[in-house]
Amino acid sequence: MKANAGKRNVRSLGFEDLSKWVSEIGEKSFRAKQIWEWIWGRQARSFDEMTNLSIQLRTKLGNDFDFPVVSIDTFQVSRDRTIKNAFKLDDGNIVEGVLIPTENRMTACVSSQVGCSLTCAFCATGKLERIRNLEAEEIFDQVVMIRNQAMENYGIPLSNIVYMGMGEPLLNYSNVLKSIERITAPDGLNMSPQRITVSTAGIAKMIKKLGDDGVKFNLALSLHAANDAKRSKIMPINEHNSLDALEEALNYFIVKTGTRVTFEYIVFRNFNDELTDAKELADFCKKTKAKVNLIEYNPIDGGEFKNASEDKLEAFKNYLESKRIIVNVRRSRGKDIDAACGQLANKNEHAVVRLKKI
């Protein structure tokens, strides 16, 4: 991140570090709690907003600390009311985040990396270079701004958060977990961890680490094939994280956390849409007691895949349900503005749409 020379990012401090600084400059101890509340509870974006602090204290904060924030560079509104944001980071890099309104939910989809290193064949983000991990506060800021959009434009509070935007969350493990701690903390956004889902392409050792750390949020695995040869063809990460390795890691996670895992499965035409594929998926689900989200494929520039036919999708779903597997079909939102699953790739040539209250 860009930062002023010699200054620390104030949001990188823990409360004890902040309290120590307050003591060192001769301020009363309760000032640390006030500053902390402004940063995380009120989501201040500058020291000047901290109006119950003296001008002298705000000046000292500005002299010693940097306060980089994320801003909305451009946004687009889909015909289905989905809002895609291009978020500008303090160093000028761009990531995307999406507000997804449905009948029962208002969901924020956030990014965890600038770009991605996994090169999944069906994903637009996978065609980008991975530039860097996002800091915890940069993920936090995405959630805050999308939450504000939900209230300002639809009058409905944010209900869910999915780490399904740009990047692989488990390759930015510490910052992702820190962001979730701040999002769920009573002195942060105070959201329930059960309303948060982290989606991974499948890194076995990090899935086990989630179990060891006893996380309370939901875990989703982007599976897309329950056959190593097929999965490796579209997801190179499978070459070092085979289905057997993932099965072991997922069962370890489930035992440690007591949480049911969700498999995300994009149904591609003439690739993984046959009943033989459904049988392989059903067998793998039984090994891990997982439920399934079947996902429509969303075309990307230069992509080789097409969405499965509605008949194939329905037959696939019916087969899984006949095996007593919980199945949801996730219909794509925001396809007309490239905001749907797998489409985030910083297409900033689109015109900005002015938001109107709905």
How confident is the model over 68-90, as pLDDT tens digits? 999 999 999 988 889 999 999 99
**Exposed, middle or buried, 353 (CB in 10 Å: 0-12/13-18/19+)?**
middle
Q: What single string gives the DSSP state of each residue in 82-133? A: -EEEEEEPTTS-EEEEEEEE-SS-EEEE--SEES-SS--TT-SGGGSPP-EE
Calculate mean pLDDT across residues 47-60: 97
Binning pLDDT at 50, 70 and 90, where does residue 127 land?
A: confident
pLDDT of res. 180: 98
Rounded to 5°, angle at Cα 120 from 270 and 228 = 65
217 has pLDDT over 60: yes
Tokens standing for residue 93: 């890099």
Q: What is the fold of 71-337?
A: TIM Barrel (3.20.20)
Binning pLDDT at 50, 70 and 90, where does residue 96 land?
A: very high
Q: Are 312 and 278 a contacting pair, CB within 8 Å?
A: no
For residue 83, give the nearest of 109, 105, 104 by alpha carbon: 109
pLDDT of res. 350: 38
335 has pLDDT over 60: no
pLDDT of res. 356: 34
261 has pLDDT over 60: yes
254 has pLDDT over 80: yes
What is the pLDDT of the chain when averaged over all its residues? Answer: 90
2 has pLDDT over 60: no
Catalytic residues: 96, 341
CATH 1.10.150.530 maps onto the chain at 8-66
Q: Say what the pTM is.
A: 0.90
CATH 3.20.20.70 maps onto the chain at 71-337
35 has pLDDT over 60: yes
253 has pLDDT over 80: yes
Calculate mean pLDDT across residues 30-36: 98
Pick the CATH number of 8-66 from 3.90.180.10, 1.10.357.10, 1.10.150.530, 1.20.200.10: 1.10.150.530
Residue 183 vs residue 296, higher pLDDT: 183
Q: Where are the beta strands (DSSP E) in the chain?
A: 8-9, 65-66, 71-77, 83-88, 94-101, 106-109, 113-114, 132-133, 160-163, 196-200, 218-222, 262-266, 291-295, 327-330
